[in-house]
Amino acid sequence: MWAIAQMELKKNIHDKGIWFWTFILPILFIIVFVAVFSGQEGVEYAETVTQIIPGYTVMFTFFIMISILITFIKDRERGMVARIASTPISVSSYFLGKWIPFMIIVLLQIAVLFLFGVLVYDLPLGDPTALIVMSLFQAFLATSWGLAMAVLVKTENMGIALTQIIALGGALLGGLWMPIEIMPDIMQTICKFIPQYWGLEGYKEIILHDGGVLDIWQPLAILLVGGAIGVLIAITGYQRYLRLAKS
Amino acid sequence: MIEVAQLSKSYGKIQALTNIEFTIDKGTCFGLVGPNGAGKSTLMKILAGILQQFEGDIVVDRFSVAKEKQAVKQLIGYIPQELCLEETLTARDNLLLFGRLYGISGRTLNNRIDNVLEKIGLTERSKDTVLNFSGGMKRRLNIGCALLHEPAIVIMDEPTVGIDPQSRKSIFSIIEQLRADGSTIIYSSHYMEEVEQLCDRIGLIDKGILLENGTMNGLMEKYGTPSLYVSGDTIEAEHLHPYQIAPKGDGYLVRDANPLATLEKLLVRFRELDLQPRRLELYYPKLEDIFFQLTGTKLRDN
């Protein structure tokens, strides 16, 4: 497992694309949208910052799905997965080895974006323990969905398209782009079924209301269930993924 | 020793393997040949422990592939046709990965990597990124990754596809070295002359059925009735009437139950007709001829 994790981490460090999607693009989005919305009449600066930074952080964590599925599809197409399956490593170790580096990257991404918020926009952080726990669960959800997508999709393009739908559609419906209170009633009901909404709710509870781990049990539970479903799909789809693998 | 017993595998309605049975003795180089889609890769994938769900079993040194997959995997080094390498990493990093996947670590792993690098002729390039390697170097590294755990059995699926003659020669010498070390090799290739040259025994598979399994000499005895090969600028098909002929190269193969007698008759005929054959000789069929004889020449695009 650690052999795969170490190799995956090394590969990702060399991959400039992942740096762009994970750190540069989200920071650019935050700068632009904070500038646009903080200039509007009747909108408080603090309100803008506490909506946009955690909201965009949650949204961009899902972009890791692209990197995960590209890695898995490359492994499948190059026969790497079949070759690894010929070694004594178990399915769970293979998934864990692939998954851990992406968890690290997403946690690093959340840390960098929040740090950027603190340094540039005076973003309050709240309880650090709750923030770390919330980030772990958020990273678990995004990466496990990435694993599920990676074993299910046939082509890279199909995966990227679905990721955009999940990341952008989820952001829109989950209220990551604008406060849920200003959305129509029907949207306010729909968003309760979107995990992204619960991601943002958790962060808001910590940042705005100084909530602790116990105060965010509901978002944590929903993210955990969502993540577990992703893992389950990934494990179930592994045999099919293996069948499609070249060797 | 490898014992394949009543092995069958289907993909939905497609029967990939049907009741395959054969044994391979320790230290043998076993050539597996067959057209595309014949079932070679499926057979090798089952043996390598990649494919689950199949009927029958393969026993490798007392261990059952169906029941003791992990033990079997430690005995096998699988070299797939695809280049399964991490191209953005160095040759050493790639070897490190596969060594660790087989549970080797520390000084032992470093020593094994050095040995394998020497065996595959990449010691000088061990710290270079694989992306900058030639096709032949990548093929050699692809082989090296399967040798770190010093497997008793090495499965090679088309290891010489798309490489230059120098790299092919180098791969042959790796195989010879493995044989000298006592490894059992299962070698699949579409290059029949390679299989003839390297393998002690040959299994010919088509449509999931093992059509033949034996030594090259055994196959020759069974299928290898010699023919006559005739070529010459002025020699046409009509000059070879009434014999059964088939065009080959710039001449013809003349098939007859008694080729030596036919050779004498043709010599007389050519002299009478004042024809000058460039080549008139006994032609012993090669593995490729036996292959076509058993599988036909129709394209296998599906």
Query: pLDDT (tens digit, 9 = 90+) per residue, B72-82?
Result: 999 999 998 88
Phi, psi (deg, nearest 5) at residue B59: -110, 125
Mean pLDDT of all residues in B163-186: 91
State how far the Cα of A195 lies from the Cα of A203, in Å rounded to an integer. Answer: 13
pLDDT at B214 over 70: yes
Joined tokens for residue B96: 């490190």
Q: How far off is chain B from A110, nearest CA to CA, in Å? A: 27
Domains with residue ranges and CATH for chain B: 2-221 (3.40.50.300), 225-284 (3.30.70.980)
pLDDT, position A81 = 84
**Residues on chain A touching B48 (C-beta within 8 angstroms):** 86
**Residues on chain B touching A7 (C-beta within 8 angstroms):** 86, 89, 93, 97
**Residues on chain B touching A3 (C-beta within 8 angstroms):** 96-97, 100-101
Between A84, A86, A239, which is nearest B76 by CB?
A86
Please write the tens of the pLDDT for every residue from A94-139. Answer: 888 999 999 999 999 999 999 999 999 999 988 999 999 999 999 9
Least confident of A66-70, B11-15, B218-222: B218-222
High-pLDDT (> 90) share of chain B, %: 52
State how far the Cα of A36 lies from the Cα of B26, in Å rounded to an integer. Answer: 74
pLDDT at A41 over 80: no
Confidence of residue A46 (pLDDT cuts 50, 70, 90): confident
Contact A4 B101 (CB under 8 A): yes
Please write the tens of the pLDDT for every residue from A153-165. Answer: 989 999 999 999 9
pLDDT at B50 over 60: yes
Q: Best of A2, A4, A83, A238 to disrupt the B interface by mutation (most B CBs within 10 Å)?
A: A83
pLDDT at B10 over 70: yes
pLDDT, position B186 = 95
Joined tokens for residue B36: 């595309």
Mean pLDDT of all residues in A205-219: 93
Interface list for A 12-41 with B (CB within 8 A): 14-15
Contact B73 A2 (CB under 8 A): no
Q: How far off is chain A from B77, nearest CA to CA, in Å? A: 8
Local structure of A184: helix, strand or coil = coil
Confidence of residue A36 (pLDDT cuts 50, 70, 90): confident
Burial of B272 (0-12, 13-18, 19+ CB in 10 A): exposed
State how far the Cα of A59 lies from the Cα of A169, in Å rounded to an integer. Answer: 10
Please write the tens of the pLDDT for every residue from A53-108. Answer: 999 999 999 999 999 999 999 888 888 888 888 999 987 888 889 999 999 999 99
**Residues on chain B touching A2 (C-beta within 8 angstroms):** 100
State how far the Cα of B211 lies from the Cα of B205, in Å rounded to an integer. Answer: 5
**Residues on chain B touching A92 (C-beta within 8 angstroms):** none
Written as one letter, the residue type at A87 is: T
Interface list for A 62-81 with B (CB within 8 A): 78-80
DSSP state of A169: I
H/E element holding B5? strand B2-11
Joined tokens for residue A119: 């340094």
Between A7, A15, A79, which is nearest B84 by CB?
A79
**Residues on chain A touching B50 (C-beta within 8 angstroms):** 82, 85-86, 242, 247
State how far the Cα of A132 lies from the Cα of A144, in Å rounded to an integer. Answer: 18
Q: Best of B101, B142, B145 to disrupt the A interface by mutation (most A CBs within 10 Å)?
A: B101
State how far the Cα of B265 lies from the Cα of B283, in Å rounded to an integer. Answer: 17
Q: How far off is chain B from A92, nearest CA to CA, in Å? A: 13
User: B217 or A120: which carries more pLDDT confidence?
Assistant: A120
Write down the H helix ranges in chain A.
Answer: 2-14, 16-19, 25-38, 45-61, 64-77, 80-85, 91-121, 128-152, 156-164, 170-173, 185-190, 195-209, 217-244
Least confident of A139-153, A206-220, B272-286: B272-286
Written as one letter, the residue type at A210 is: D
Q: How far off is chain A from B47, nearest CA to CA, in Å? A: 9
Give the range of the structural domain holding residue A100, as residue numbers without chain letter: 2-244
Contact A88 B83 (CB under 8 A): no
Burial of A78 (0-12, 13-18, 19+ CB in 10 A): buried
Contact A247 B45 (CB under 8 A): yes
Q: CB neighbours (10 Å) of residue A36?
A: 11
Q: How far off is chain A from B158, nearest CA to CA, in Å? A: 11
Q: How far apart are the first and last CA of chain B?
A: 34
Cα Rg of chain A (Å, integer)? 18
Mean pLDDT of all residues in A192-216: 93
Mean pLDDT of all residues in B132-140: 92
The DSSP annotation for B59-76 comes to EETTEETTT-HHHHHHHE
Joined tokens for residue B137: 């170097």
CB of A11 less than 8 A from some CB of B:
yes
Confidence of residue A226 (pLDDT cuts 50, 70, 90): very high
Contact A78 B83 (CB under 8 A): yes
Question: Which residue from A minimizes the CA distance to B70?
Answer: A88
Question: Which residue from B minimizes the CA distance to A80?
Answer: B84
Question: Which residue from B minimizes the CA distance to A12?
Answer: B88
Total structural domains in chain A? 1
Please write the tens of the pLDDT for every residue from B19-43. Answer: 999 999 999 999 999 888 888 989 9
